[in-house]
Chain A
Amino acid sequence: MTTVSLDDYRAVAPKGTVEFLRCLAQRARGRTFLHVNSTRHGGGVAEILHRLLPIMTELGVDARWEVIKGDAAFYGVTKAFHNALQGQDQAITKEMLDVYAATNTANARDLSLEGDLVLIHDPQPAPLIEHRPGKGKWVWRCHIDLSNPQREAWRLLRKYVARYDAAVFSLPRFAKRLYIPQFLVYPSIDPLSEKNRDLCEGELNGTLERLGIPRDKPILLQVSRFDRFKDPIGVIDAYRLVKRHKDCRLILAGGGADDDPEGAAVLAEVREAAGTDPDIHILELPFSAHLEINALQRAATIVLQKSLREGFGLTVAEALWKGKPVVGGAAGGITVQVIYDVTGYTVNSVEGAAFRIRYLLNNPDLIAKMGEAGREYVRQEFLITRHLADYLTMLIVLTK
């Protein structure tokens, strides 16, 4: 990742943002801000931390990032836990909980957990709270959809979360009944990252050629992990309904993540559902394929994010930033990013997705108009500069 400075955001952030951030940061200067999560690569949290930390450092905040380590058994447990917290039926046994707690205990011994503000991201490292040092505020940052968790899974997690000084959620509906303060912070995208920066025609065409994607017909694209909550099979079904009326291609591009052991099984199901259709492209991309995802999003005519459950779904903001309308499932943060009839459409079924895709393909002027609205919306609400301001404010308010 190339190094950028805050000044580089002048061209993309709303007017006056950079000056504002410098002034805000004066009040947080010298304080330590530690982030802890479970993966250095893959997923929106890791991506944004890679960029957020250097900028915080540039602004005089002592920002650090620790990553917990675990074996396959640990990631198997946390994946099951993750699914249960998002409402899927999962058996959580005592043995699994023991692995969860023991791995965190081992990490607590190895990691430096000192900080004026310690932000623990997601459930995987949540038990670290049992090992907090004497000083500093500890805040649990939840990136997943907790609106309808399996009751037992939430009961188990709650015993850790309740011990934090505060919790942060991405949407109001994810907040839980807790006696600690709960804050709302939307996640964000980095417009200067490899995944979101502007591409020249040469880069775009070269990348698509390498991926074997022709641009001879409209492209429908879904970028997401191969995960049942993202409903890739539903996307294929919707594409087939559209294809009866309008010739198009479908690309399902999935990135892996260190902490997602279930992806291979879902990928196999997707391949089977796609069959031998030459217009369905299933791309299994490594976590580092940022340029490829960027090119695919820019080449797409319409971007889909037909999730059944979603934390925030930042691929939506990525697509909007590139001027693409999004047809997304009415789940999690997609409903905040997709403003119906303005930046795209939220849908509740395969048929609903197919109808809106057809509608947009038949109205190219609307595609352009929505794309423009989407980019401006993201500029104000979902860029890393706004996220940075929120975190600095938390640091100032909670550690004063």
Chain B
Amino acid sequence: MRERAEVPFEFYGCIELRRLLGLRAETEKQLVGFLKQVSLDSVCYHTHGSLLRHRYRVGVYSNDFATWAAIQVRDRVLGERLAVLDPIDFVALSDLRERIISVVTDHLKSITVVPRVVHGEPFEFIESWVVGVPLGIGAYTLEDFRKRLSDLDNSAIYYHAVEARVRLERKRNDFAAWLGDSLDLPGLAARVESLDPYMGGLERLRSRMLAYCDEVLSRGRDL
């Protein structure tokens, strides 16, 4: 464990500009068709991006495809099959897209009538452009890192834990990478890396990270 890192952790927040693609799916077959055409930015918006939205607006599941199938189409089977996909398991967005397509396609093969929206809302494809914003805050020590982390806009949690891996294609989330490499805290880094934001949201991720940091600080050694 190092008391002070040579390179500070530079916090970034982020914001997304949402672009409406004008593609509206009313049936599950159309959903697959449009899913093949849209950009990976759109796949990201409807899966990982849900973390940036309030939990009330996200709906019952943590990705938009699952929520739409379950609530708007009232196809609970497909909703559940899509809901169980964990975006964090997919290194590349293209793999995530392929998996969603294959789940819906397999489902359609198993039924005779293509489910469609009757009273609900069509699926509206959106893509987001995420703008990273340096917050002008750096941390050299774990104590400082913990203090800064507790006060930040939650878009910063998203940016470093999700955006870094998904679109910036870093191998680990930024927090884990810095804690492991710069502070030589591999145990803490592994715990942080293992946190799943899709099962509790960004605030839960923040509170778990803060608790882990507190544990290290009170013990005076790595986990």
Contacts and interface: CB of A to CB of B under 8 A. Distances in A.
Interface in A340-385: 342-343, 373, 377, 380-381
A279 B57 CA distance: 36
Given A169-B20, A390-B17, A19 B57 contact: no
Contact of B57 (A176, A178, A339): A339
Contacts of A173: 121-122, 124
B173 to A, nearest CB: 19
B153 A342 contact: no
A110 B108 CA distance: 60
Given A15-B153, A172-B20, A184-B20, A23 B13 contact: yes
Shortest beta-carbon contacts, A-B, top 3? A16-B153, A172-B124, A20-B153
Interface string B163-185: 00000000000000000000000
Contacts of B154: 14-16
Interface string B43-69: 000000000011011000000000000
19 contacts: A15-B154, A19-B152, A20-B133, A23-B135, A24-B15, A27-B133, A172-B126, A173-B121, A183-B17, A184-B19, A184-B20, A185-B18, A336-B57, A339-B56, A380-B54, A390-B15, A393-B17, A393-B131, A397-B17
Contact of A16 (B13, B20, B121, B134): B13
Given A373-B56, A380-B54, A20 B13 contact: yes
A308 interface: no
B17 A20 contact: no
A14 B17 CA distance: 19
Given A14-B153, A16-B153, 18 more contacts: A15-B154, A16-B154, A16-B156, A17-B153, A19-B153, A20-B133, A24-B13, A172-B20, A173-B124, A177-B22, A182-B19, A182-B20, A182-B22, A184-B18, A336-B57, A339-B56, A381-B54, A393-B16
A309 to B, nearest CB: 16
A244 B6 CA distance: 74
A338 B121 CA distance: 15
B129 interface: yes
B133 A377 contact: no
Contacts of B42: none
B134 A23 contact: yes
A185 B152 CA distance: 23
Contacts of A178: 22
Interface string A181-206: 11111000000000000000000000
Nearest to A167: B20
A19 B153 CA distance: 8
A336 B56 CA distance: 10
Contacts of A185: 18
Q: Classify the secondary structure of B's interface with A.
A: strand
B5 to A, nearest CB: 22
B220 interface: no
Contacts of A14: 153-154
Nearest to B121: A173
B70 to A, nearest CB: 14
Nearest to A374: B56
Interface string B81-110: 000000000000000000000000000000
Chain B: number of interface residues, binned into ranges: 20 to 34
A15 B152 contact: yes
A336 B153 CA distance: 23
A184 B151 contact: no
A23 B15 contact: no
A176 B121 CA distance: 16
Contacts of A184: 18-20, 126
B13 A397 contact: no
A389 interface: yes
B128 to A, nearest CB: 9
A162 interface: no
Contacts of B126: 172, 184
Contacts of A390: 15, 17
Interface in B11-44: 13, 15-20, 22
A68 interface: no
Nearest to B59: A339
Contacts of A381: 53-54, 57
A343 B155 CA distance: 24
A19 B54 contact: no
A15 B19 contact: no
A377 B131 CA distance: 23
Interface in A24-47: 24, 27
Interface string A138-168: 0000000000000000000000000000000
A101 interface: no
A142 B92 CA distance: 36
B18 A15 contact: no
Nearest to B130: A393
A380 B153 CA distance: 11
A335 B119 CA distance: 14
Contacts of B155: 20
Contacts of B156: 16, 20
A287 to B, nearest CB: 31
Q: Which of B15, B22, B129, B134 has the most CB of A within 10 A?
A: B15
A335 B72 CA distance: 13
B10 to A, nearest CB: 12
A100 B53 CA distance: 40
A185 B124 CA distance: 15
A16 B151 contact: yes
B129 to A, nearest CB: 6
